[in-house]
Amino acid sequence: MSVYFIFQDVQKHSVHTLVFRSLKRTHDMFVADHAKPVSLDETSHKVKMAAKLRADYSAVLHMPVLKEGKDRPLGSNMPANQNYLQPADDPEYLITGTHAYPSGPGVALTADTQIHRNPSEGGVHAMALALPPSQARLDASRTAASVGDIHRHAVGAERPHAPHSHAMSLLEGGGTKNSSLIARKAPTMPKPQWHAPWKLFRVISGHLGWVRSIAVEPGNQWFVTGAGDRTIKIWDLASGKLKLSLTGHISTVRGVAVSTRSPYLFSCGEDKQVKCWDLEYNKVIRHYHGHLSAVYDLDLHPTIDVLVTCSRDATARVWDIRSKANVHTLSGHTNTVATVRCQAAEPQIITGSHDSTIRLWDLIAGKTRATLTNHKKSVRALALHPRQYTLASGSADNIKQWTFPDGNFIQNLSGHNAIINAMAVNSDGVLVSGADNGTIHLWDWRTGYNFQRIHAAVQPGSLDSESGIFACMFDNSESRLITAEADKTIKVYKEDDTATEESHPINWKPEILKRKRF
């Protein structure tokens, strides 16, 4: 017997049609439950509410709440505070109008809820202790001075105390009452200190390439520059005349430093070399080998014989000056490390990088203490205040100030809208920032007020596009500012001795202080 199978052609549908049909079948299946709330599980609801109470209201769970004339604690396992309400023989105050005690809006007051009992002193004291610490107490416990401290100090010196100043001082000193009960005035920018304007004093020519670095010797007799012509030149500070030229690098000299502890000059460049020059013989006596790419900056530790260099290979290296040993390789940055600074106190090494971060390093362990990520653009310049325990960092987005040792943010200095290559600060609180477009801005360190802007003309024969500041530094007397520029010159600035506060008044308005966090 033969069996025949008849095959019918199955109609083919597109993927879109099949998906649509599947969705439609699913919708038809669950259409009866559409938008229907899930039934409440009593046990899980209780667990959820208990967790929410602990998370959001743990600080006040032990306090009583008045409901229908009875004292009932918020947390069932916490005892009620018996001292919160005054005794019944105290005068009672009749409440007219709405009050917080009814269970909801539009609910009439009952005989119990319209009676208002004043809290006792003991109750207020217990309530204040139960609240989290006020911001005033947190500010008072900080070790480094903040902008708020500076503002309070400045305003207190300029204005007699208001009648409520005693109460405010109690609150800020850690009093038991909550500081949020007193309305605060918006902080205003304190009046900046007056600084004399700076003017161009001398232009020094001699390099055949961009001047990239500057260092002043400890005796303040001469200074040294490194440039794109691969030479290092030593200049007399008083006259501006060339004293000596040193050759040895085979590419741009990006960093120079003069030791305060020995007659040595250190230099680094884009040829990956770090050299130590003996200034008694004007010869290279040591090389420090290890960097895998161009070396962009270097700095000497002020108290120990250690040299720190930073490079395009995304590392900073710590060298023993005498033995030439690579003591530490500080790795962690993810892009070129553009600048490095050393100081005697912790953190002893600070680096700024093109990865837009600043790192504070533990010199002993060779590891990062803190990473500051507030900048959004490359950090090419750092400046340490000579007297305060603070730091400024320069980037294309902002100049930011920080406190040590943890790198707490102080304030932004906004307005120098360019790539900032160099910064310097003196003991008078004058911060200088030099940018890629040839502009120099001078700031009051304490308030962040920009009191002067300079854009010196380029050297005759140079293009206007060759206007750029690559390095700047105060001399050791802090009466001269030396800048290294893209028009192959070194410019020296000094304060205008004839200027007075009357002839050059501060164009300052007490605007609302905008403290940007990032």
Tell me how far CA of residue 23 lies from CA of 15, 77, 489, in angstroms: 12, 51, 75
Give the DSSP letter of residue 196: P
- The pTM (predicted TM-score) of the whole model is 0.64
Three-state SS annotation for 128-187: HHHCCCCHHHHHHHCCCCCHHHHHHHHHHHHCCCCCCHHHHHHHHCCCCCCHHHCCCCCC
> According to the model, what pLDDT value does residue 190 have?
79
In this structure, are residues 460 and 487 in contact, taking their beta carbons and an 8 Å threshold? no
In this structure, are residues 253 and 268 in contact, taking their beta carbons and an 8 Å threshold? yes
Give the DSSP letter of residue 19: H
**Torsions phi, psi of 380, nearest 5?**
-110, -10
50-56-60-65 Cα dihedral, nearest 10 degrees: -60
Q: How far is C-alpha 495 from the geometric centre of its chain's CA atoms?
A: 30
Per DSSP (E only), the strands in 153-290 are 198-205, 211-216, 222-227, 231-236, 242-247, 253-258, 264-269, 274-278, 283-287
b/e burial code for range 269-286 (CB count within 10 A of at least 16 → b): bbbbbbbbbebeeeebeb
Q: What is the pLDDT along the chain (518 residues), one digit of tens a residue?
A: 555 555 555 567 788 888 888 887 877 776 666 556 667 888 988 888 888 888 888 777 777 765 544 444 444 444 444 444 444 444 444 444 444 455 555 556 666 655 555 556 666 556 555 555 555 455 545 444 444 554 455 444 444 444 444 444 444 444 444 555 555 665 666 788 899 999 999 999 999 999 999 999 999 999 999 999 999 999 999 999 999 999 999 999 999 999 998 999 999 999 999 999 999 999 999 999 999 999 999 999 999 999 999 999 999 999 999 999 999 999 999 999 999 999 999 999 999 999 999 999 999 999 999 999 999 999 999 999 999 999 999 999 999 999 999 999 999 999 999 999 999 999 999 999 999 999 999 999 999 999 999 998 888 888 887 899 999 999 999 999 999 999 999 999 999 988 888 777 877 666 544 444 44
Counting every residue, how long is the chain?
518
Take residue 225 and report the two structure tokens written for it: 């520059």
Q: How far is C-alpha 505 from the geometric centre of its chain's CA atoms?
A: 30
Number of C-alpha atoms within 13 angstroms, CB side, residue 427?
6
Give the DSSP letter of residue 22: H
> According to the model, what pLDDT value does residue 84 have?
41
In this structure, are residues 511 and 189 in contact, taking their beta carbons and an 8 Å threshold? yes
> According to the model, what pLDDT value does residue 10 have?
58
